[in-house]
């Protein structure tokens, strides 16, 4: 059975259409109106080996917040939907990813209980047209909507572009491992469920 999902999210602030295939090959088409967000979401899906098509028309004439937040929510909802009851997945994973001088660590658990800690240690207010506080918020919104425990720490780095990209790539690598099919096939929980 294909682990895929479609999400249509329309509010007064954004209009998002998203198609996700967890068992993809890294085919990505992202257009959010924010170049740096496109770059990060493309890196995330590509390195997770997800197929992702995401378009967003947002109120970027106001600022980048709603677009960044709502795209992350939609992506998290799609991942949650695609994984269903989460039977047969590895569930826990961690990964490190470097980008030049930057190094990021991500640890995740598809627990069904949303909790996000994200410490990216940015020094600038903006990267491209995206506020660095909203890049942190992308991780928070994505992890909450995907109903996962997510810890993101950038351990070192001088360049905020590098810090962000290392974090998104580490998340991608951890996701690829966590959603991999497990040999025992059931829900990986002593409770028999990962519902909240």
In this predicted structure, the answer to whether residue 185 has a pLDDT above a threshold of 90 is no
Helix (H) or strand (E) holding 21: strand 14-21
Q: What is the reported pLDDT for 191?
A: 52
> How many CB atoms within 10 Å of residue 173?
20
Per-residue model confidence (pLDDT) at position 177: 98
Average pLDDT over residues 74-99: 96
Alpha-carbon gap, residue 114 to 83, rounded angstroms: 15
Phi, psi angles (nearest 5°) of residue 165: -65, -40
pLDDT tens digits for range 12-28: 999 999 999 999 999 99
Residue located via tokens 């947002």: 58
pTM for this one?
A: 0.94
CA separation for the pair 31, 37 (Å, rounded): 9
Say what the pLDDT of residue 2 is.
81
The CA radius of gyration of the chain, in Å to the nearest whole number, is 16
pLDDT in tens, 36-85: 999 999 999 999 999 999 999 999 999 999 999 999 999 999 999 999 99
Instruction: Note the pLDDT of residue 187.
Output: 58
Where residue 190 falls among pLDDT bands split at 50, 70, 90? very low
**For the chain, percent helix, then strand, then coil, each to nearest 5?**
35, 30, 35
Q: Yes or no: say if 38 and 136 are a contact pair by the CB < 8 Å rule.
A: no
Q: Residue 193 has what pLDDT?
A: 54
Report pLDDT for 184. 64
* pLDDT tier at 108, thresholds 50, 70, 90: very high
Domains detected in the chain: 4-178 (3.30.230.40)
pLDDT exceeds cutoff 50 at 172? yes
List Cβ neighbours of 183 (8 Å cut-off, separation of 6 or more).
Answer: none
CA 79 vs CA 6, 51, 138: distances in Å: 10, 11, 14
Among 2, 44, 42, 41, smallest CA distance to 22 is for: 2
Q: What is the pLDDT of residues 113-153, one digit of tens each?
A: 999 999 999 999 999 999 999 999 999 999 999 999 999 99
Query: Which pLDDT value is given to residue 182?
Result: 81
């Amino acid at each position: 059975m294909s682990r895929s999902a479609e999400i249509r999210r329309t509010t007064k602030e954004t209009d998002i259409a998203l198609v996700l295939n967890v068992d993809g090959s890294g085919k990505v088409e992202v257009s959010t109106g924010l170049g740096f967000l496109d770059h990060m979401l493309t890196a995330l899906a590509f390195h997770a080996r997800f197929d992702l098509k995401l378009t967003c028309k947002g109120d970027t004439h106001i600022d980048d917040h709603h677009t960044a937040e709502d795209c992350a929510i939609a992506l998290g909802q799609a991942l949650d939907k695609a994984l269903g009851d989460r039977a047969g997945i590895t569930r826990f994973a961690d990964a490190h990813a470097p980008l030049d001088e930057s190094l990021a660590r991500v640890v995740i658990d598809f627990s069904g209980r949303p909790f996000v800690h994200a410490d990216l240690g940015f020094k600038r207010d903006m990267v491209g047209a995206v506020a660095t506080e909203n890049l942190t918020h992308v991780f928070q919104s994505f992890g909450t909507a995907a109903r996962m425990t997510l810890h993101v720490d950038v351990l070192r780095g001088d360049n905020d572009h590098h810090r962000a990209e290392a974090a998104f790539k580490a998340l991608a690598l951890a996701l690829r491992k966590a959603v991999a099919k497990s040999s025992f096939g059931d829900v990986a929980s002593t409770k028999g469920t990962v519902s909240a």
